[in-house]
């Protein structure tokens, strides 16, 4: 399984990424071993994720989400929690 996710960093910013092991990736982000962006901004909180069968689908969706502004990402997260 492949995942696209949004985490909130300790400074309130969002980070969007993709992985094939969500649990391991969250651990990496929280321990400072994840993406360069999140290293100094931990711990992170998982706010949103989607599952995909194919890596290419997840990567495409990651790109789409990264093109959204903060307000649209917040709407995506709010609708997900309902």
Task: Give the pLDDT mean for 51-55.
Answer: 97
- The CATH number given to whatever domain includes residue 43 is 3.40.1440.10
Number of domains forming the structure of the chain:
1
CA distance 64 to 40: 25
Query: What's this model's pTM, rounded to 2 decimal places?
Result: 0.92
pLDDT, tens digit, 9 for 90 and up, residues 12-22: 999 999 999 99
Q: How confident is the model at residue 31 (pLDDT cuts 50, 70, 90)?
A: confident
Q: Phi, psi (5° rounding) for residue 22?
A: -65, -45
β-pair partners for 52: 2
Q: Which domain holds residue 17?
A: 2-81
DSSP 3-state assignment of 11? coil
């Amino acid at each position: 399984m492949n995942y696209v996710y949004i985490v909130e960093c300790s400074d309130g910013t969002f980070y969007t990424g993709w992985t094939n092991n969500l649990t391991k990736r969250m651990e990496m982000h929280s321990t400072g071993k994840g993406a360069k962006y999140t290293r100094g901004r931990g711990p992170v909180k998982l706010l949103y994720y989607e599952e995909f069968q194919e890596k290419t689908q997840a990567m495409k969706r990651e790109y789409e989400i990264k093109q959204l502004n903060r307000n649209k990402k917040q709407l995506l997260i709010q609708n997900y929690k309902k």
